[in-house]
Amino acid sequence: MIRRNIWFKTLTLFLVETGIAFSVILLGLYIRFPKYLGSILIDQRGIYKIVLTTLVCQFIFYLFDLYDISKPRLRRELLTDIFQAVGVVLLILGLTFMLRPTLLLGYEQEIEGVGIARTGNGVPIIALILALFLMTVWRLGIHWVMRNPKLGDWILVVGTDKLAREVAHEAMLRRDLGYKVAGYVAEDIGLVGTELVSESQSPHNGPIVFSRKVLGAVSDLNRIVQEQKIDRVVVALQDRRGRMPVDQLLKIRLQGQAAIEEGTALYEKLTGKINVEMLRPSWIIFSGGGKRGTFWGVIRRLFNLMVALIAILVSLPIALLAAIVIKLDSPGPIFYTQERVGKNGRTFKIIKFRSMRQDAEKDGAQWAAERDPRITRVGNFLRKTRVDEIPQFLNILVGEMSFVGPRAERPVFVEQLTEQIPFYSQRHLVEPGLTGWAQVNYGYGSSVEDAVQKLQYDLYYIKNVSLLFDIWIMFKTIKVVLFGYGR
């Protein structure tokens, strides 16, 4: 199961807050109209209105990443997100009730000579005040519990090299997931007592620096586990040959002192990607996952076919408008076709709305960059909203692409990247996608370094591919389109 612990916590959070939203609306209705509660819920179909309002609230919370528990978030950032989300909910529901007053919960009665009239309302205000209070208290409580050093799993990292520090850093960065790093165990006894520092960059808070001590040597592993009350030993040795403390790890595991986990496995769970620098082919080969038979292929193809047909019909008015605007904005064709590499290395022609000047590649193939000067005025908008990719529904329809998968790249770049990046060719084991795990988690790629980062997400997707995962990525794509990040 994909990041099972995270999925379980996310689902729990979602269900509890769905219950809170539903309950405060019901309570507001009871406070405002105690005598007519049954009539409003049944006769006036109030129960459906409550469900609709709750779904709107939850969808807005989702758009504000409030259900992405793997996202590092300070308390002030959490409060800001909650208040912003509630503000957007209030705005959307307010506009909805103004345009369609019959959706507003309230008691209606027959008045002679007037017809059906509302006796007044106040349910949304009461529900909003209650929801804001309860959601804030609930979220701050969960935030405190998850970050409390006395709760959660204490981790001891075996190793001191780059892999060990990266795994420890990611665990400390995501304390909401319940992991606390006690320190490191070193092979070199000379490192005992030293502080190992790790650093990463946050787009909002600048550099984030963590440090933890080397608590002892590998020979002291059993003693440290007992003294520090370690819950999980993470083996993060990049080169294990003749170096792994097998006897001590076996003793810890068989005596039930602590759980044992591979550094690469924990890194994958924490980040949702597979680090190619840490990766050994044997780890993927023996990491689980069953055979994907013909039935899986048929289901996936039917899903893509059905969604593509619906998407073509729904997006047709937008596509027609885009075609007209492209033609008026700059000289050249409306559509742009380009050779891309698909599943098993087969090439195909991808179809997109033209978003660049007609002479964009007069000097040969180039990486597309953020704020690329070759992009037209209209093309910039089309790319941000992903309208330029609407014609790719035709590629999906004929089976050259899938809705979800690694981004389809040009043969010239694939050849270059395959030579420079280990495991790059493995991304062609599945159909390329209109959207994908890399696209929704990483910004615009315009270099070999960016390609490495995106490959790590692609490998994670390929390893964990499932229909449920595809649907989850498609929902995340909605946020990308609305808020304009990723590519």
Whether the CA torsion 260, 262, 265, 267 is positive or negative: it is positive
Cβ-proximal residues to 286 (8 Å cutoff; 6+ apart), any chain: none
pLDDT of 157 reads 93
Give pLDDT tens digits for 57-96. Answer: 888 888 887 887 666 666 777 788 888 888 888 888 888 8
pLDDT of 241 reads 64
Please say if the pLDDT value at position 346 is more than 90: yes
CA distance 269 to 179: 12
pLDDT of 178 reads 73
Give pLDDT tens digits for 116-153. Answer: 555 456 777 888 888 888 988 888 888 777 666 666 78
Please say if the pLDDT value at position 7 is more than 50: yes
Cβ-proximal residues to 353 (8 Å cutoff; 6+ apart), any chain: 319, 322, 323, 326, 334, 335, 336, 382, 387, 388, 389, 390, 391
Give the pTM.
0.74
Could you tell me the pLDDT band of residue 487, with boundaries at 50, 70 and 90?
A: very low
Please compute the mean of the pLDDT values over residues 181-200 and round it to a whole number.
Answer: 88
pLDDT of 1 reads 36
Please say if the pLDDT value at position 347 is more than 90: yes
Which residue would you say has higher pLDDT here, 100 or 484? 100
Give pLDDT tens digits for 203-225. Answer: 556 678 888 999 999 888 999 99
**Cβ burial, residue 266 (10 Å; 0-12/13-18/19+):** buried
Residues 109 and 99 sit within 8 Å (Cβ to Cβ): no
Number of Cβ within 10 Å of residue 114's Cβ equals 8
pLDDT of 110 reads 41
Give pLDDT tens digits for 241-261. Answer: 657 788 888 988 888 888 898
pLDDT of 2 reads 37
pLDDT of 375 reads 84
Please say if the pLDDT value at position 445 is more than 80: no
pLDDT of 284 reads 64
Please compute the mean of the pLDDT values over residues 471-484 and round it to a whole number.
Answer: 80
Domains of the chain as residue ranges with CATH: 4-147 (no CATH), 153-271 (3.40.50.720), 294-483 (no CATH)
In the chain, the percentage of residues whose pLDDT exceeds 90 is: 24
Please say if the pLDDT value at position 13 is more than 50: yes
Please say if the pLDDT value at position 371 is more than 90: no
Could you tell me the pLDDT band of residue 297, with boundaries at 50, 70 and 90?
A: confident
